[in-house]
């Protein structure tokens, strides 16, 4: 039977066929689904395969790195409480298990699975069953039609987030007022970090506090948690008296990153080094109850070779003998000297290898590069100094901002919308302010900005 709906579908398909060329089935990708989601072309109320009604409150931000496709989303199921979490897309429902997500703890925060077609029970590695939506039959037209009008560049250079409500107010703010506002937020972030340091020093003592903080910074965004866990399981008081080989064994063993058998494809040097670590770790485990985290905690993709977790652990091991010196330098605000100490860290194996299994490089590469050292000064050194009563604000105002990364880009896109393209932070303090707004408001937002008070504040600043 021809209904108004099918007439609309045929006409719109016909129109697209001759205007932009309709996509055929073979050309559809998951990226089309993700882009349609990003552009809000998928209805905000959907029916899950088990009959429950899923209301989308916040579509989240588009994750271009490993892990779920959209993060920070918010949904409501059958009129229940708002649930925050991630969303994963596949063309076919079977993609969830085919890609191994049901066993991958990085997908434990997924609260909704959306596929173009197919029915499946979707469970996470934590044993949760999450709602699954099959879109076919729930869209106002065939998905091919929707996909055909999506921007041609698809996933590539598309922003990660839609502008938030602040973006409408920012345009009325002068450049100097915007920077002032961000610097104010930066001061707040610095004070929060400093208060955290004070609390941690009180609880664990200054050495252990600094050990954990430096470890966390070496974990980058992807491996902050496992680095923090390793630095707790292998505390500074245990490692400070050890020689390099034992420190390495403790850290690699505690990280669960030692191969349990000899790997014949590795070259002699790597096999010899890893075997030494394993023997040492095995002996240490016989005499003390050392905890080990699982390899599933680690992320290896999305990291540059020189930032491989193996190399970062080696850097942490090499920092240990200098920790007392770094504590004193941070405590006196002598950041240039602290940077020099970190830049000269040495390691017999990892100055020429980026991972245990990697072939040696012909040239020596610093264990920790200048960008990461700057991150350490910004995120650990400056708040540490403030906690000791130093003038850290001036320092942060004079330090160059970190290189742009996914977090700073996303923060600017959400807070400033189109203005983000023209915005360049002038100091680390300003950049910290942007991150503070993002982490304190945008990333916690489950109401599509409707519950947030920051736009009113920006408006007052602009008046």
Residue ranges binding ligand SF4 (CB under 6 A): 164-166, 414-415, 437, 441-442, 445, 449, 452, 454-455
Q: How far is the CB of 44 from ligand SF4 (least distance, A)?
A: 18
| Closest listed residue to residue 143, CA positions, set 229, 36, 62, 289 | 36
Q: With respect to ligand SF4, which residue has the nearer C-beta, 365 or 443?
A: 443
Q: With respect to ligand SF4, which residue has the nearer C-beta, 179 or 308?
A: 179
Nearest position to ligand SF4, beta carbon? 164
CA dist 144 and 256 (Å) reads 46
Q: How far is the CB of 27 from ligand SF4 (least distance, A)?
A: 35
Q: With respect to ligand SF4, which residue has the nearer C-beta, 11 or 451?
A: 451
Q: How far is the CB of 458 from ligand SF4 (least distance, A)?
A: 8
* Pairing state between β 82-92 and 110-117: parallel
CA dist 145 and 140 (Å) reads 10
Between helices 175-204 and 206-218, what is the axis angle to 10°? 130
- Residues in the chain, overall count: 463
Q: How far is the CB of 447 from ligand SF4 (least distance, A)?
A: 8
Q: Where are the alpha helices (DSSP H) in 260-347?
A: 268-287, 309-319, 323-332, 335-343
**Cβ count within 10 A of residue 185:** 22
Q: How far is the CB of 165 from ligand SF4 (least distance, A)?
A: 4
Q: Are 230 and 293 in contact (CB under 8 A)?
A: yes
Q: How far is the CB of 56 from ligand SF4 (least distance, A)?
A: 17
CA dist 12 and 404 (Å) reads 41
Q: With respect to ligand SF4, which residue has the nearer C-beta, 13 or 448?
A: 448
Q: With respect to ligand SF4, which residue has the nearer C-beta, 349 or 415?
A: 415
Q: With respect to ligand SF4, which residue has the nearer C-beta, 266 or 415?
A: 415
CA 292 to chain centre: 23
| Closest listed residue to residue 462, CA positions, set 167, 55, 154 | 167
Q: How far is the CB of 437 from ligand SF4 (least distance, A)?
A: 5
Q: Are 331 and 201 in contact (CB under 8 A)?
A: no
Q: Which two tokens stand for residue 294?
A: 């699982």
Q: With respect to ligand SF4, which residue has the nearer C-beta, 239 or 454?
A: 454
């Amino acid at each position: 039977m021809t209904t108004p709906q099918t007439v609309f579908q045929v006409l719109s398909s016909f129109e697209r066929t001759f205007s932009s060329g309709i996509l055929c089935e073979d050309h559809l990708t998951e990226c089309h689904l993700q882009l349609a989601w990003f552009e809000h072309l998928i209805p905000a109320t959907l029916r899950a395969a088990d009959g429950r009604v899923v209301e989308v409150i916040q579509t989240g931000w588009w994750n271009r790195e490993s892990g779920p496709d959209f993060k920070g989303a918010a949904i409501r199921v059958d009129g229940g409480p708002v649930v925050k979490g991630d969303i994963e897309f596949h063309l076919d429902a079977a993609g969830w298990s085919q890609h191994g997500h049901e066993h991958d703890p990085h997908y434990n925060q997924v609260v909704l699975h959306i596929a173009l077609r197919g029915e499946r029970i979707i469970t996470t590695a934590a044993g949760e069953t999450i709602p699954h939506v099959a879109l076919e039959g729930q869209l106002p037209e065939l998905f091919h039609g929707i996909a055909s009008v999506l921007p041609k560049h698809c996933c590539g250079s598309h922003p990660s987030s839609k502008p938030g409500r602040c973006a409408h107010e920012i345009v009325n703010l002068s450049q100097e007022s915007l920077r002032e506002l961000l610097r104010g937020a930066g001061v707040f972030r610095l004070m929060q970090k400093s208060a955290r340091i004070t609390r941690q020093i009180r609880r664990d003592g200054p050495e252990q506090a600094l050990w954990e903080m430096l470890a966390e910074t070496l974990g980058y965004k992807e491996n902050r948690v496992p680095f923090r866990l390793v630095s707790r399981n292998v505390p500074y008081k245990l490692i400070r008296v050890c020689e390099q080989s034992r420190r390495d064994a403790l850290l690699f063993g505690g990280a669960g990153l030692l191969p349990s058998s000899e790997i014949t494809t590795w070259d002699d040097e790597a096999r010899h080094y890893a075997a030494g670590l394993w023997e040492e770790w095995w002996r240490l485990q016989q005499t003390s109850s050392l905890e080990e985290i699982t390899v599933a905690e680690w992320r290896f993709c999305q990291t540059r070779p020189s930032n491989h977790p193996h190399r970062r652990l080696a850097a942490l091991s090499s920092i240990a003998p200098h920790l007392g010196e770094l504590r004193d330098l941070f405590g006196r605000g002598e950041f240039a000297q602290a940077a020099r100490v970190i830049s000269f860290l040495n390691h017999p194996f990892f100055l020429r290898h980026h991972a245990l299994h990697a072939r040696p490089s012909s040239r020596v590469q610093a264990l920790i590069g200048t960008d990461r050292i700057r991150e350490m000064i910004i995120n650990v050194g400056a708040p540490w100094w403030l906690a000791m009563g130093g003038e850290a604000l001036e320092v942060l105002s004079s330090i160059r901002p970190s290189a742009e990364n996914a977090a700073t880009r996303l923060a600017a896109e959400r807070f400033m919308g189109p203005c983000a393209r023209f915005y360049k932070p002038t100091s680390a303090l300003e950049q910290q302010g942007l991150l503070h707004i993002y982490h304190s408001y945008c990333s916690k937002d489950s109401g599509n900005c409707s519950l947030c008070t920051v736009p009113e504040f920006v408006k007052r600043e602009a008046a």
